[in-house]
Structure 1
């Protein structure tokens, strides 16, 4: 059973039974408890489950959806390394698209202060980081603000993106795989990400390894549309090779 299939099974079981127990589920699926904990962690980061002692329960039982602060506290070291590695992808770029996300926000904080950049973003947290930077011409996309991600979406954002051509776009994603490409739970955010992908000469995806195989509801891009995928060393070498064979240059930071 692939990770995505197992996670869907876990989500279905949690919704049917009201709870998933790590030990019992590991025995039932003939995998290690650590595998189940990793799957539950991936589902929690997607806002679908809430971890509790010994297992997890459906997020909708608690009215729970992780906010930015919750997601920002997950895989912090990996995200820091990914953001630092992403700086190499700025070479030759003067116009940059920055997608909403906790890893792209880390990249925003690391942007060099010794060169002129035009940055377009749909993320309020990223805009707040860059607004006072004298070397950055900041363009904030308009639209409806999603409280969960603090990203602007819908027509006001899409109309502007449709008229842009940026040197490079740095995109976040909730899931990535060779089979399903780049995916995210929300249709409006998927549309904004798809528009960013189309508006850039080069596309770089920043995603920690826990998102590999965690396919989501809406696909916004194919793997072969990505120029570089920057993740962490938690991604197995064989998986990195399969992704690279499908199109992008894969960096494990």
Structure 2
């Protein structure tokens, strides 16, 4: 089978199944996984499929909606715990100021903050604030705004305005998707504006996300990869993807 024939057949297979893994495609067409990844890259450039971690989905099925916070809390829990622990090495020195974004991984990171490390913490996330309220080592600042039920986080003009007047040492940001081409993205306009403000308020930006989000693009970009200093993710990330991200200038920490 010629490459073009295989690529057309692959595109049809993705359309029929809705999602298919690199390994499944390689087995079906008796080619290497490296060949499959090249084929998928070609198909993605033509707008026929969208690459995601470990495989591909049809373009029209790309995620544009957020799952509820409770649902997300139950997924990839072990990976998120490892990411949270690894991210502790990226804290500023005692007395520094950090911002923590809303998200299940960032919430676990907040829970893991050491008890003997004095920090000022700024957040718009109600779950994060609830975990840190009363912690003697934390000076906590909760940002104003309307709280979205989906993420339990304050968003809106008030939130963005408050962030525009702040400067923090490190922002720990979450994302719904991360790709080389589209950067960091999220489906909601107000969430995107708030995340963008969190990124702009920081001297250093650290993205905490499990590998299932890598290779995914959602509607609204809130940061280019060049706006992010470090990505902390889990060991399920594709080695080739990790190398590409590093080559783009992003420091990648595997938890």
Task: With the length of structure 2 as denominator, give the TM-score of the two structures.
Answer: 0.77
- Distance in 1 between the 2:171 and 2:248 partners? 20
Distance 1:32 1:225, change over 3 A: farther
Asked if the contact 1:22–1:37 (Cα under 8 Å) also holds between the matched residues in 2, the reply is: no
Give, in angstroms, the shift of residue 112 of structure 1: 1.1
Match of 1:16 in 2: none
Match of 2:213 in 1: 211
| Unpaired runs of at least 5, structure 2 | 1-10, 29-51
Asked if the contact 1:122–1:140 (Cα under 8 Å) also holds between the matched residues in 2, the reply is: yes
Cα deviations by residue, 1:18-55 (Å, 9 ceiling, x for unpaired): xx7569x78xx95779x999768xx999575xxxxxxx
Cα deviations by residue, 1:60-107 (Å, 9 ceiling, x for unpaired): xxxxx6321110110011101000000000042610000000000000
- Distance in 2 between the 1:45 and 1:215 partners? 7
Cα deviations by residue, 1:143-165 (Å, 9 ceiling, x for unpaired): 11110000110111011100000
TM superposition outliers: structure 1 runs of 4+ over 4 Å: 20-23, 29-33, 35-40, 43-48
Match of 1:123 in 2: 125
Cα deviations by residue, 1:105-137 (Å, 9 ceiling, x for unpaired): 000001111121110001000010000101111
Asked if the contact 1:47–1:66 (Cα under 8 Å) also holds between the matched residues in 2, the reply is: no
| Unpaired runs of at least 5, structure 1 | 1-8, 14-19, 49-64
Match of 1:150 among 152, 158, 167: 152
Match of 1:88 in 2: 89
Match of 1:109 in 2: 111
Asked if the contact 1:46–1:174 (Cα under 8 Å) also holds between the matched residues in 2, the reply is: no
Asked if the contact 1:22–1:36 (Cα under 8 Å) also holds between the matched residues in 2, the reply is: no
Distance 1:32 1:132, change over 3 A: farther
Task: With the length of structure 1 as denominator, give the TM-score of the two structures.
Answer: 0.77
Match of 1:199 in 2: 201
Match of 1:168 in 2: 170
Matched, 1:77 2:101: no
- Distance in 2 between the 1:141 and 1:83 partners? 22
Distance 1:251 1:147, change over 3 A: same
